[in-house]
Amino acid sequence: MVVILICFCCFDSGSESLLYHLSELKGMASWKQKYEPLGLDAAGIEDAITAVGSFILKANELLQVIDSSMKNFKAFFRWLYVGKLSE
């Protein structure tokens, strides 16, 4: 479980950092006079922001599913161990 939490923390902080930088790029894309020569497209950046947000939500959902499964496995093996002791 600790490994899962460590991996999730890396994904979480990385995706939040990516979201921050994409938001900065979106702001730059809005300033057409200065950043238009770079070819920044606000709509494309907005799509990327939406994709990163969806990734964050799915990662949280995956963590909840893993946590629930770990609890169920722990309860199952506890039941199995107690059942084996009573024989």
% of the chain beyond a pLDDT of 70: 89
Q: pLDDT band at 4, cuts 50/70/90? A: low
Residue ranges covered by each domain of the chain: 2-85
Q: What is the DSSP string of 16-62?
A: HHHHHHHHHHHHHHH-HHHHGGGT--HHHHHHHHHHHHHHHHHHHHH
pLDDT tens string 44-77: 999 999 999 999 899 889 888 988 998 999 999 9
Q: pLDDT band at 9, cuts 50/70/90? A: confident
When pLDDT is averaged across residues 39-43 and rounded to a whole number, the result is 87
State the pLDDT at residue 2: 66
Rounded to whole angstroms, how far apart are CA atoms 51 and 39?
20
